[in-house]
Chain A
């Protein structure tokens, strides 16, 4: 079972519906007992970093999430959930969870695309991911597959945590973390079949970890 970490994130029901559609048992919860029993956690997020941190901290949920990470429960952060695993976000000048070293920065609209046109912010639409190191999340996914992005800020973790990059004006980190603690800037729950495959891969990883124990 996967637990979708409940802190009023805008996309938590979208993640829930996507998992339902591919037959992965899941629950939206912030109950520590249920979270602890889950095979893995999905940490969703939509909207602004400051607001997300306020929601998390209001109920001590930030500490609850960190506790799960310390006990090496698999965690997959999505979009704002991906960003606030870092130390700091330029969005609302927000100190974030500091689970992965790095920060989150605003796209610079003076960057230009390959045709020399200034990039539009937000980065909205389908873009590809170039893996910088092997990652089980991408098993059986065509390297040419695109994923759905919608964000104005991008993660900039310490280099050793960069797993995949995407080019928008210039390359930025779109997948970061380490094995079992992954963060994706795009929305797998809205990325069609490749996105659903990524969620399946994550679930399989979580199940294997549980079986190994």
Chain B
């Protein structure tokens, strides 16, 4: 039986691990390579690296970090942030990432999804979506709008429609981040997660808002997500990866418990 995944997300800025609230006030909290290795040892099912400022400032991905990680951890990991071309994708995959997440780059140029899927396989291409709740309008009927540039720019794109488009273009997975929930520790946006899960047939990773393992349980049961992304809850040591997995397992969620 397929296990639900717990995926620590490492936001990287200038080669350092950072964590902010609602994409602001980022503080340095450590070395991403060493942190990734620890999470790997502790049973993380996958790891996501996100270059949080790359889109805004146009900086490249830190390939040296990616390469160092690839030599030390033997679970899948994905890299996102500032991926705007097929060449950007090729560079991170070559550096050792399994998957590459396109976000703003795909909103600006949706063809990057189909080009990436054709070149590297759909399983490599994750559509990252940053989503904000807005009043429902004709343009945004679901009341969930896709935003880019770390939440600073609205594109007039309905999240549910965009998820379907991404799947049709060849994305193999969706990483769905709620801007409203991010960093709050109040739980994932379950309504958003479930709506996107039901709109597509590829796996969906819930992201934003994890503050307690019960939130992860909600995301993969009520929210029907395939995986839950976590960040501050483990970065600050409130919970460890094994304790989270044990909690979820005890709540009846099928988890990978041997590593």
Contacts and interface: CB of A to CB of B under 8 A. Distances in A.
Contacts of A20: 71
Contact of A190 (B2, B3, B76, B94): B76
Contacts of B120: 10, 47
B198 to A, nearest CB: 10
A140 interface: no
Contacts of B239: none
**Residue with the greatest number of chain A CB neighbours at <10 A, chosen from B40, B173, B258:** B258
Contact of A10 (B121, B226, B256): B121
Interface string B208-239: 00000000000000001011000000000000
Contacts of A25: none
B70 A17 contact: yes
A144 B121 contact: no
B201 A191 contact: no
Interface in B1-39: 1-5
B201 A109 contact: yes
Do most interface residues of chain B lie in helix, strand or loop, or is the interface mixed?
loop
Interface in B117-144: 120-124
A46 interface: yes
Given A17-B70, A127-B2, A190 B203 contact: no
Contact of B74 (A13, A48, A124, A196): A196
B51 to A, nearest CB: 21
B71 A191 contact: no
A113 interface: yes
A194 B258 contact: yes
Interface string A97-139: 0000000000001000110011011111111100000000000
B257 A144 contact: yes
B121 A123 contact: no
A167 B96 CA distance: 29
Interface string B70-88: 1110111000000000000
A184 to B, nearest CB: 15
A6 B234 CA distance: 39
Contacts of A146: 3, 256, 258
A192 B2 contact: no
Given A47-B120, A167-B1, A194 B257 contact: no
Contacts of A113: 1-2
Contacts of A195: 74
B202 interface: yes
Q: For B1, B71, B93, B94, which residue has the most chain A Cβ atoms within 10 angstroms?
A: B1
A18 interface: yes
Interface of B: 1-5, 40, 43, 45, 70-72, 74-76, 93-94, 96, 98, 120-124, 172-173, 201-203, 224, 226-227, 256-259
Given A122-B172, A122-B202, 18 more contacts: A10-B124, A13-B96, A14-B96, A17-B70, A47-B121, A120-B226, A122-B123, A125-B2, A127-B1, A128-B1, A148-B76, A150-B98, A150-B172, A168-B2, A187-B76, A190-B76, A192-B40, A192-B75
29 contacts: A13-B94, A13-B96, A17-B71, A21-B71, A46-B123, A47-B120, A47-B121, A117-B224, A120-B202, A121-B202, A123-B2, A124-B172, A124-B226, A125-B5, A125-B203, A126-B2, A126-B5, A144-B257, A144-B258, A145-B259, A148-B76, A150-B76, A168-B2, A190-B74, A190-B75, A192-B40, A193-B74, A195-B74, A196-B74
